[in-house]
Structure 1
Amino acid sequence: MRLDPVSLKLFVSVVERGTIAAAAENEHLAAAAVSKRLSELEDTLGIRLLIRTNKGIRPTPAGVELSTRARRALHELDEIAVHMREYEVGIRGFVRVHANISAITQFLPGDIKRFLGEYPNVQVDLEERITSAVTKSVAENAADVGIFSGDISDHDVEVFPYREDVLALVVPADHALVARDDFRFADALNYDFIGLHRGSSINRMLAAAAHDEKRTLKLKVQCTGFDALCFMVNSGLGIGVLPLDIARRYAVMFDFRIIQLADAWARRKIQICVRSFDSLPTAAKLFVNHLRAQPGTA
């Protein structure tokens, strides 16, 4: 039985993207070539790995197990290549980082710049993911380091404190809430909200806060990023919630007002997670230690 890295990489790509067409486009191959590789992989292993439906592809239990092991094997091969290239071009390490949008927009640009200034021969591969996907990626070894908001309980990972941020309400400039001196978050629940993409930690916090008030959060529109949310609020479609520092940056470009949230839930922990710190590659350990040592780290 011989397994080649190309077939494993294509298999992982199909599992992650859900369709052969999307994986083929990402890998710059013909869909038929990818499909042939997958069929040959199933024949080699003698087991069905994928279930094909009219909605796309999903892995069988054996396919889930293979995707986890294949990621690990491909990562080990990447590590070999990285260490061998040290002798040719001086690269000393490679760190895979998955982080949510709050961490990427508020803290990571400066922190990564300082890290690379100290370790110029380390390569940082940063991908944006929602919090639930960040912790899942780390648990499944698809990322070395994850940075997420809030707490987790569904994945076996090590967690370290990183930063804190505070959430704020953004409303159109002429909104009735602007004039309220005795503002409470419960007052905002009378209005339509512009939310972030499905699964975002801010959406979950808002839904939980509304539940505590025995109310329902009315999501009018859901957006894929902070800038889109600001455009929607600015147009008068509804109100939204952003990290306070981000809201202040966008306030320069948009005609909306910021209302700070005094509720305890509006102060969030931004945290770091890894599968096992002791098992991390050296470059990833250096990166985690660098993040934890930054001014303002919780």
Structure 2
Amino acid sequence: MNYTNPPVKSKADVFDWGRVISKFTKIDNLPRELPVSGSERERIISVYNRAIDQVRTDNTDVAMIALEKLSVRWPHFIESSCLYGLLLAKSQRFAEAEKQFEKVLLASPDANAAPMINEWRKEAREERIREEARDSSKRRREHKLLPVRASLASSGILQRAADEDGTGRVQMASRREQEEILRSGGDFRQGVDSSSTGTTKLVYGLLIAVIVASVLFLIFYFVIRPSIVANENRRTRLEWLEAALSEREEEDESISDILDAYKKAFGEIESEE
């Protein structure tokens, strides 16, 4: 049986796993080198042939379950192990398919089909790498779009709807909804502007009050206060001088005369006031 796939014409072409799978047919006998008993041989052939029928009727999942059991129990049964790997690849489970082909090559490295199995392994590996690259690129694009979607969602331009399967998806809001959102946004901005204006006026008023209070304090501290302090010091010195003269009045007549003159002078001033 020829399991080869026509060579691809360009890198854009995809390996046709289905065409290779279609080459597999039912069997009447197992390879002689397969160490099984007579009853097991008949059962293996029956399970394998039923899997072929299920593949042809698109019951791939059921066929893969049976083929997986055969490949695990009898890894040297190349047809079963290879068909299981091909079905994995067709289901786009390329990483699992690559590992399955590697197991087949390890179990039967000298088989006639080994070169072709190795080609399938390479194809599965390339598909896996391309799929990982696509997923990585998609994640990067989604990451770049996250801020934009978040902004649109917060403004109401995007709304959440339900898919047919019930999962959530994001779609654009209708034109009427967008206009309502923009109008409400304008009213909101107007209210915010009014509130900001009132707050600004209050801040300016408080700032002016602080400036005026600061100026008055500076005038008092540097102009009025020094005069008050000087007058207080002068009064203290005069009181001390008067007390000293009073104590020495009896000792010296000149001091007594000065003290009398001082009292008369202040008495005259008080009388004038």
Shorter-chain TM-score: what band? under 0.3
Report 1 or 2 for greater relative contact order, CA contacts < 8 Å, sequence distance ≥ 6.
1
More strand by share: 1
More helix by share: 2
